[in-house]
Copies of this chain bind each other. A is one copy, B any other.
Amino acid sequence: MLKICFSQIEVEPGHPDLNFSKMLQAINEAKANNADIIIFPEMVIPGYLLGDTWEQTSYLKDCLSYGEDIIAQSNDICIIFGNIAVDWQKKNTDGRVRKYNALYAAYQGKLIQPEKSPYPFAIKTLFPNYREFDDSRYFYSLQSLADELDTSVDDLLSPMKVNIKGQELNLGCILCEDGWSDDYNFSPIDILCKNYKLDMLINISASPYTFGKNNKRHRVFSKQAKDNQVPLIYVNNIGIQNNGKTIYTFDGSSTVYDKNGNIIACCPAYSGKNNYINLNSNEDYTPLPIPQNDDISNIYQALSYGIKKFLKDIHMKKVVIGISGGIDSAVASALYVNIIGKDNVTLINMPSKFNSETTKGLSSQLAHNLGCQYAIVPIQEVVDFTVNQFEHTDVVDLTTQNVNHLTISSFVKENIQARDRSARILAGMSAAIGGGFTCNANKAETTVGYSTLYGDQSGFLAALADLWKHQVYDLARYLNKEVYKREVIPQGIIDIIPSAELSAEQDVDAGKGDPIKYPYHDYLFRSFVESWQKVTPEDILTWYSENTLEEHIGCEKGLVAKYFSTAKEFIADLERWWNLFTGMAIAKRIQAPPILAISRRAYGFDHRESQNGAYYTRAYKQLKAKLLGETA
């Protein structure tokens, strides 16, 4: 029987000194609890999502130096941890120094060398190069090392042997993606289990939270344990890490599976504590229930933790939120107040002549319900001044000396209002308060750029920009019912038609609102960005012509017929949004605030895109012509 501590500490990416201190504390606690082994996550010293910090020699040396100090702590406890490993004599294929994403195991002050490895550490074999991951940019895989040494992974991959309390243990140690081998032509776990009799599998990970991912992980990892009849210990970190534009929460959710594939220990999500289990490789344990990870409570938990940690990391204590009486800003307000307290949140309503008494009233009601700081700052005077100033400015042609004057269209006026609210009032007032202002855009708006750059598209963080509009509503109901347990978000805000209220054409009292029909477009847009193979108008139009669109994109049945009476209308709508999604919206996303990722595909570094303009395939054009009874 071994006492194993799995320590899903809150990793601070880019701060080896802080991570070292946390590890030291965890090790001391584990020692005091007589643990035999303590296991930390992947890249626990450097952090994982660091951008090109990996190119700083001094950073590499610093991480190695803290690693040495951890190894020195391994008297009477076996310490397993992730860190960078460097072979200063060799090169990566970019010509820079050779770097491995490594798992170190130390005992009695010494590193344990995997039986057949040329190095005293285990090397990550499989490299994720999808979504937010960039492993091949920085690290050299065990596969590449095998190629270089003219041998095979089979010949390099081997367990770490250690004798603890007289027990000779064979530890099968892998890193993160090594346990997700379905799409590779070999499986590191299979190789280890085929060639060796293991006492346990240890998977140290740095695995970001994604809605629903843990359910899949339980299936995959449970099967690995059961198939190989060996316990599996999965240790993930908590924290937030980012690639600039996209911020990921890491939920931990470290889990121990027994040899039957049953969950026998599981750390709560986002809890940065040591956890212990007494493990006997051959024992049959009473299974724990499988945690569920796919409802709005998980999204709430990820958002809450992510926002709180991000604010802490950027040392921001106060937040300003522009509230319109609409759902997005209301949900943002309820979230932030719950996280940093009503004293630290200032809600600002910024009416123009187009804002209805209805939404002004709802804004006030929201602010009162939350009991936070509240101000009303009208924009009409500056908007009028601006339009007047532009129209009366002499624009002189210095070649001909002709003097011209601008005319300001209704559309230009709409954007003047949006920018006045954000760039003049929210940016200025939040700076005066000593905080930042939020971007409340949802994912549907972000998809098609239904927002104004330097207007409602701005802010220090877009916390809701990975939630579709229907998820924002779910979250509103959840906040009222489960978090506040009272109606902080007025029902009127949930019921009112979404509208920007930037012109008389968007009069909410007349039932006029956004051009986005969320019950349909939420799902159409989702198919563009979140589908496994990304969906384009060619697919959409094919499904439309086959009458299978609703089931393919997952929206309610009957909506397509309800919204579009002809193929022509349907196509015009499709092209309108596709043109925006692949056109102006990309330009806006390039300058958008960082997004907190929730879904399996968030904008930013996760969904990479180029500003290339809209494109329609030949097959699309042919099908369109056919549907419209034209020649392509």
Contact = CB atoms under 8 A, between A and B. Distances in A.
Given A143-B147, A367-B398, A377-B393, 14 more contacts: A13-B612, A57-B533, A57-B534, A61-B619, A129-B129, A129-B137, A314-B613, A342-B399, A372-B399, A374-B397, A390-B432, A422-B454, A423-B455, A591-B591
A375 interface: yes
28 contacts: A13-B612, A14-B610, A14-B613, A52-B607, A52-B609, A53-B534, A55-B534, A57-B534, A62-B619, A94-B128, A244-B610, A313-B611, A342-B398, A343-B397, A367-B398, A371-B398, A377-B390, A377-B393, A385-B385, A390-B429, A408-B428, A415-B428, A423-B423, A427-B454, A458-B591, A590-B593, A591-B593, A594-B611
A494 to B, nearest CB: 21
Interface string A475-486: 000000000000
A392 to B, nearest CB: 10
**5 nearest interchain CB pairs?**
A14-B612, A423-B423, A95-B183, A62-B617, A51-B609
Given A183-B94, A591-B458, A536 B59 contact: yes
A452 to B, nearest CB: 9
A533 B97 contact: yes
Contacts of A242: 610-612
A564 B591 CA distance: 37
A59 B617 contact: yes
Interface in A398-417: 398-399, 404, 406-409, 411-412, 415-416
Interface residues of A, number: 131
Contact of A13 (B49, B586, B607, B610): B610
A94 B385 contact: no
Nearest to A94: B130
A604 to B, nearest CB: 9
A406 to B, nearest CB: 4
Contact of A396 (B61, B375, B382): B375
Nearest to A528: B56
A620 interface: yes
- The main secondary structure of chain A at its interface with chain B is mixed
Contacts of A389: 377
A180 to B, nearest CB: 10
A168 interface: no
Contacts of A251: none
Interface string A616-627: 011110000000
A378 B11 CA distance: 49
A57 B59 CA distance: 41
Nearest to A149: B185
Contacts of A433: 406
Interface of A: 12-17, 47, 49-53, 55-59, 61-62, 65-66, 91-97, 126-130, 134, 136-137, 143, 147-148, 182-185, 241-245, 247, 313-314, 342-343, 346, 367-368, 370-377, 381-382, 385-386, 389-390, 393-399, 404, 406-409, 411-412, 415-416, 419-420, 422-425, 427-429, 431-433, 453-455, 458, 460, 532-536, 538-539, 586-587, 589-594, 605, 607-613, 615, 617-620
A31 to B, nearest CB: 24
Contact of A424 (B52, B55, B143, B424): B424
Given A51-B610, A137-B129, A375-B393, A385 B386 contact: no
A244 B586 contact: yes
A589 B593 CA distance: 10
B431 A412 contact: yes
Contacts of A593: 590-591
A454 B96 contact: no
Contacts of A423: 419, 422-424, 454-455
Contacts of A51: 607-610
A380 B409 CA distance: 25
Contacts of A52: 534, 607-609
Contacts of A13: 610, 612
A342 B134 CA distance: 45
A412 to B, nearest CB: 5
A242 B587 CA distance: 12
B59 A609 contact: no
A432 B458 contact: no
Nearest to A310: B611
Given A57-B533, A423-B419, A612-B14, A428 B412 contact: yes
